[in-house]
Structure 1
Amino acid sequence: MKEAIKYMIISALAFTFMNAFVKSLDHFSVYQIVFFRSIGSLFFTMPFLLKNKISLLGNKKGLLIMRSIFGLISMTLFFLSIKYIAMGTAVSIRYIGPIFAAFFALLFLNEKIKPIQWLFFLIAFIGVLVLKGFDTDMEIKGIVFALISAVFVGLVYITIRKIGSGDHPVVVVNYFMIISAVIGGVLAINDWVNPVGKEWLVLLSLGVFGYFAQLYMTKAMQAGETNQVAPLKYLEVIFTMIIGLFWFGEIYTVWSVLGILLIVLGLTLNVVTKKK
């Protein structure tokens, strides 16, 4: 369990620094950020697949492309939301993706939802309403971008469930990164800004942080009980709020903190109950 906690803390920190660097790159278009985020991860996924002689094309190509498109839309909207609202708020809202996944699983996979889970979903959604309804300084545009991003996170989960064990996990990620790099790169052409000096390092580090964040989250899930380890991923919210406070001078009102706490509480209770 100690190993699992260590891995999850590393994962949360990696996600946090990726979010912070995205926030710091505000003079670059979101498409250019998506492009570099994807290119950075390809430095890890491509060599892995080639070294282990795993087919780059995969087996369930239609689902792999669909998962990649959903992931690209979600990632783009999340990065966009960070430009308008505090990072901790954007991360919290994005994390309600599993709730949308539960709805989609109910509709398309005929999976059951325990009655008590509806209460936890409601608590999380009340948190979102508190964030916008009482925090008048918050831009509605950022909230909407983060919410739609969460919807597509739900679609990503469902698509991955459909892929199942039909394709290696790194193949799934590699597809996502290739498609994101191509589409992000094309859409970034008109507003392309040439990076200068350390900006190259910061842009390319996005993919590195993203890759290791996913890697250590997977290691944590493998090392410990899911219902005990999964709630620890919400450490990203705390870390991101702290970084935002001290690095970017982001301000969190009492209402925004209450909203974030309700979201995290609802999601944590849902994870623990579902796994039990």
Structure 2
Amino acid sequence: MKNNSAISYMIFSVIAFAIMNAIIKYLTIFNVYQVVFFRSIGTLCFTIPLILKQKTSFLGNNKKLLFLRAFFGVISITCFFQSLNYLAVGTAVSLRYTSPIFAAIFAAIFLKEKVKKIQWLLFFIAFLGVLIIKGFGVDVNTIGLLLIITSAIFLGLIFVIIRKIGNSENPLVIINYFMILAFVFGGIMSIDNWIMPNNLQWLLLLSSGVFGYIGQLYMTKAFQSNETNLVAPLKYLEVIAMIVIGSIWFDEVYNLWSLLGVFLILVGLIYNIYLKRKIS
């Protein structure tokens, strides 16, 4: 039952993040820091009132871990948004979600979570799928590649920190730390690069924060509910969603190699979930 809840939470998170990613890709005319700034505002409009309503401490209990999660989050999201200036949205998301592999490695090192040999094989199969998409599906800009891999590494660290925090913190507090730091960083960095949005752009910029909040909330709940190496691979579903959105909305083309890569990702993902649940 606990496993089912974690999986449901992550699926909700994936859908919300997919919508947010599409909006961010559409808004690449804006400086990345300005996008980070608006992304944080949209989310803070939810987290601050809810924390006040629940009469929860804004500072939380594990201040160092909360700040570290927020700091890594700002690095990851900034690199990801910047990579969309260089990469197709489906490619960027595909490469970013090598993060569950980094998460499994970091979880084994820092949390002593056990990962069986067959699971490492399945992670490798999923990663091979990502490499096929990268190498044969579409052209990958070098700067974009470096940005997205950096984002993936820090996202893997975030997964582990959230798992380490566990249920000792309200998910809203975890998200609020992240968004306040993003608000300060994005706001300061965008002062000299500000572009005035039109009416539709205002709506889209702020809505990115709304969908980001939903995605962040359910992702946090998922990682608090179960082990990292069960929940993290579900993020691969976002690869499929973004390839579909990229094809329909942004006219991105994905060839047979891309489809093979997607297939391998799904095989690695689905069987790993089945195996982990069987072991549990």
Task: Give the TM-score band, short-chain normalised.
Answer: 0.7 to 0.9
Show the counterpart of 2:20: 18
Q: Secondary structure at the match of 1:119?
A: helix
| Inter-partner Cα distance in structure 2 for 1:30 and 1:228 | 32
Show the counterpart of 1:144: 146
Deviation per CA, 1:76-103: give whole Å up to 9, x if none: 1111222222222222222221211111
TM-score, length-scaled by structure 1? 0.87
From the superposition, tell whether residues 233 and 138 of structure 1 become closer, same or farther in structure 2 (CA, over 3 Å).
Answer: closer
2:64 maps to a residue whose letter is G
Counterpart mapping for 1:32-43 below 5 A: 32-43=34-45
Aligned equivalent of 2:115, options 105, 113, 116: 113
Show the counterpart of 1:165: 167
2:254 maps to a residue whose letter is Y
Structure 1 alignment gaps of length 5 or more:
none
Q: Secondary structure at the match of 1:194?
A: coil
Show the counterpart of 1:125: 127
Structure 2 alignment gaps of length 5 or more:
none
Q: Compute the RMSD of aligned alpha carbons.
A: 3.1
| Number of residue pairs aligned between Structure 1 and Structure 2 | 275
Show the counterpart of 1:209: 211
Paired residues of 2:16 and 2:214 also in contact (CA < 8 A) = yes
| Inter-partner Cα distance in structure 1 for 2:252 and 2:120 | 32
From the superposition, tell whether residues 268 and 142 of structure 1 become closer, same or farther in structure 2 (CA, over 3 Å).
Answer: farther
Paired residues of 2:41 and 2:209 also in contact (CA < 8 A) = yes
| Inter-partner Cα distance in structure 2 for 1:4 and 1:61 | 25
Q: What is the percentage of aligned positions where both structures have the same residue?
A: 56
Aligned equivalent of 2:261, options 249, 259, 263: 259
Show the counterpart of 2:158: 156
From the superposition, tell whether residues 97 and 2 of structure 1 become closer, same or farther in structure 2 (CA, over 3 Å).
Answer: closer
TM-score, length-scaled by structure 2? 0.86
Show the counterpart of 2:136: 134
| Inter-partner Cα distance in structure 2 for 1:33 and 1:62 | 26
Q: Secondary structure at the match of 2:20?
A: helix
> Cα distance, 1:169 vs. partner?
1.3
Show the counterpart of 1:239: 241
Paired residues of 1:96 and 1:263 also in contact (CA < 8 A) = no
Paired residues of 1:92 and 1:237 also in contact (CA < 8 A) = yes
